[in-house]
């Protein structure tokens, strides 16, 4: 099976300082891969490099298409839904307007309307709150909105940056259940960045552990989970 995402020797820079020192990993079609690692390991930077949001070198291939050096909007148009760190809520806009911003690039209006229906089946709570100013949503609702917005792009690949961040365990479980459904029902491949390693390893099939911009460990989730050494030294649980 060909891969949805193939990253080889990816380097990324913020101005003069290098944040990624050549990392490689892959994500199979329909799969869920998680990137784990401590604060500052370079997880967010990896997602940004894939989307052309930081200066990067190396090779990123999305579903057979090389995207390194491409502008963010062209990568998005290939069907990449990036749920950014901190959720990126457009606070002054209503929930509906947030979702409409996401349909910015869509040519096929009927498909966009279907995707909105799909969003409502996953997150009925948002449907009730369409008119609410998005900045006044609870943290959990804002995370749901962030995922919904990415879904409105009609993605083949979703990049999720710490969707559990700052949320109560019950909400986190709900959101992770829905992510599983999105992966299975909508056939969206996922690259999941998480601090919460236990949770991420439950959802993902493969895991990569980053440390200061390098991959230090990788394997199937089961392998990583069962390796006490890795868990103790890198994942802290």
Partner 1 sequence: MATTMTTETSAAGDPAALPGLRRPIPKWIWLGIIFAALLPLIGGQTGLISNFYFLQLSLMIVYSIAVLGLNLLTGFNGQISLGHGAFFAVGAYVTAILIDRYEMHYLATLPLAMIACFIVGYLFGRPALRLEGHYLALATFALAIAVPQFLKYRHFEPLTHGVQGINIFNPDPPFGLPLSPDQWLYLVVLACAVVMFIVARNIVQSRMGRAMMAIRDQPLAADTMGINSARTKSITFGISALYVGLAGALHAIIFEFVSPDSFRFELSIAMLVGAVIGGIATLSGAVIGGFFVQFIEKYADALTKWITSTVHLPIHLEPWTIYGIVLIVLMYTMPMGIAGGLASLWRKIRPPG
Ligand X SMILES: Nc1ncnc2c1ncn2[C@@H]1O[C@H](COP(=O)(O)OP(=O)(O)OP(=O)(O)O)[C@@H](O)[C@H]1O
Binding site for partner 1 (CB under 8 A): 51, 53, 71-73, 76-77, 81-84, 87-94, 96-97, 100-106, 109-110, 112-113, 116-117, 120, 127-131, 146, 149-150, 153
DSSP lists the bridge partners of residue 56 as 12
In this structure, are residues 195 and 188 in contact, taking their beta carbons and an 8 Å threshold?
A: no
What is the DSSP track for 36-66? EESTTSSHHHHHHHHTT-SEEEEEEEETTEE
Specify the DSSP class assigned to residue 135: G
Q: Among 27, 33, 34, 37, which residue sits at the site for ligand X (rule: CB under 6 A)?
A: 37
Q: Which is nearer to partner 1, 117 or 228 (CB)?
A: 117
Pick the piece of the chain touching ligand X (CB under 6 A) from 33-41, 124-132, 148-156, 228-236: 33-41
Q: Which is nearer to ligand X, 41 or 102 (CB)?
A: 41
> Restricting to residues 37-56, which ones interact with Mg ion according to CB under 5 A?
44
> Restricting to residues 75-134, which ones interact with ligand X according to CB under 6 A?
85
> Restricting to residues 70-89, which ones interact with Mg ion according to CB under 5 A?
85
55-58 long-range contacts, Cβ below 8 Å, gap at least 24? 55/12, 55/13, 55/14, 56/10, 56/11, 56/12, 56/13, 56/20, 57/9, 57/10, 57/11, 57/12, 58/7, 58/8, 58/9, 58/10, 58/11, 58/22
26 interface partner picked from Mg ion, partner 1, ligand X, none, CB below 5 to 8 A per type: none
Binders of ligand X: how many residues, by CB under 6 A? 12
Q: Smallest distance from the beta carbon of 58 to partner 1, in angstroms?
A: 20
Per-residue interface string for the shown chain with ligand X, residues 39-78, x marking contact by CB under 6 A: xxxxxxx---------------------------------
Most distant CA pair in the chain: distance in Å? Answer: 51
Q: Smallest distance from the beta carbon of 144 to ligand X, in angstroms?
A: 20
Q: Enumerate residues 6+ apart whose C-beta is below 8 A from 81.
A: 149, 150, 151, 153, 155, 157, 158, 159, 188
Q: Give Cα 158 distance to the centre of its chain.
A: 5
Interface with ligand X (CB under 6 A)? 14, 19, 37, 39-45, 85, 195
Residues that bind Mg ion (CB under 5 A): 44, 85
């Amino acid at each position: 099976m060909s891969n949805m995402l193939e990253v080889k020797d990816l380097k990324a820079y913020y101005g003069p300082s290098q944040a990624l020192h050549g990392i490689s990993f892959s994500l199979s079609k329909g799969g869920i891969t998680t990137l784990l690692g401590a604060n500052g390991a370079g997880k967010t930077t990896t997602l940004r490099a894939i989307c052309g949001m930081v200066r990067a070198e190396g090779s990123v291939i999305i579903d057979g298409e090389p995207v390194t050096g491409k502008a963010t909007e062209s990568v998005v148009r290939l069907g990449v839904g990036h749920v950014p760190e901190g959720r990126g809520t457009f606070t002054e806009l209503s929930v509906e307007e947030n979702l409409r911003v996401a349909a910015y690039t869509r040519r096929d209006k009927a498909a966009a309307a279907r995707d909105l229906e799909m969003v409502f089946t996953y997150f009925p709570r948002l449907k009730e709150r369409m008119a609410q100013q998005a900045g006044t949503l609870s943290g959990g609702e804002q995370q749901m909105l962030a995922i919904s917005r990415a879904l409105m792009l009609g993605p083949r690949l979703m990049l999720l940056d710490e969707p559990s961040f700052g949320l109560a365990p019950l909400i986190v479980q709900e959101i992770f259940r829905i992510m599983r459904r999105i992966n299975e029902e909508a056939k969206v491949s996922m690259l999941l960045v998480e601090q919460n390693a236990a949770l991420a390893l439950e959802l993902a099939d493969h895991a990569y552990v980053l440390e200061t911009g390098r991959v230090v460990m990788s394997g199937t989730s089961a392998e990583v989970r069962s390796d006490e050494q890795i868990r103790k030294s890198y994942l802290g649980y």
